[in-house]
Amino acid sequence: MPVFSDDLLYSREHVWVRVDGDFATIGITDYAQEKLGEVLSVELPEIESEIERDEPFGTIESAEKSVAELISPVSGDVVTVNEDIDDDVGIINSDPQDTGWLIVVEMKDLDELDDLLDAKGYHDFVLQEGEVD
C-alpha cells in the first residue's frame, strides 16, 4: 500500500513537491516507485539548469527495461540535485518521499502550485487508475 504523506503536494504525473518558501523539493511518489519497480538508473538535470512545468526534467530506468520520463510540476531553476542517488539509486525505491528526493528548484511562479493535489486528492486520483485500495 503506497504512502500518501499529508505534508506534500502531488502532480498527476506522480511527482511530489515539498514547498519551502520559493523552493520546491521534488521526487517521485511512493505510488510511482511501486509501479516502476526496481529503479536501476536515473538521469537528472544539472544544477543551474532551467526546467519548465509539464516538461520532462529527467528519466528513470527500471528493471522492467522501461524508461519513464519525469515531468516537472513547477517551472524554475535547479539549485540542488540529490547526490546520494549516485551512491545508492535504491533509495528512490526504499524512501522515495524523503531521502530519495531528486532535485530542489527555485520556483518562478508560485501560482503553479495551485494545480497540484493534496494527499487526499492524489489518493483519489490514483484510485481512478484502479491500482490502489
Partner 1 sequence: MATDEALFRSLQERGGPPTLRFYGWEKPALSIGYFQSTATEINLHHCRRDGMDVVRRPTGGKAVLHDCELTYAVVSREGSPFFSGNLVENYRAVCSCLIRAFAELGIEVTMARECRHGEERGMSAICFAFPAPFELLSRGRKICGSAQVRSRGCFLQHGSILLDFDAEKSCRFILPSEGRQAELCSHLSEAVTSVRGETGEAIRPEPFSGIVQRAFETSWNVRFAAKELTPEEDALKNRLLETKYRNPAWNLDGRIQGDRFPSEPFAAFSDNLPGRI
Closest approach, Cβ 15 to partner 1, in A, equals 12
62, 71, 118 from 18: Cα distances, Å: 24, 16, 11
Using CB under 8 A as the binding rule, whether residue 74 contacts partner 1 is answered as: no
Question: Among residues 3 and 127, whose Cβ is nearest to partner 1?
Answer: 127
Distance CA 65, CA 8 (A): 29
Q: Which of these segments, 20-28, 77-85, 110-118, 124-132, binds partner 1 (CB under 8 A)?
A: 124-132
Q: Cβ distance 98 to 106 under 8 Å?
A: no
How many residues in the shown chain lie near partner 1 by CB under 8 A? 23
Closest approach, Cβ 21 to partner 1, in A, equals 28
Distance CA 16, CA 28 (A): 6
32, containing H or E segment: helix 30-36
Residues that bind partner 1 (CB under 8 A): 13, 35-37, 40-41, 43, 55-56, 59, 61-69, 71, 129-131
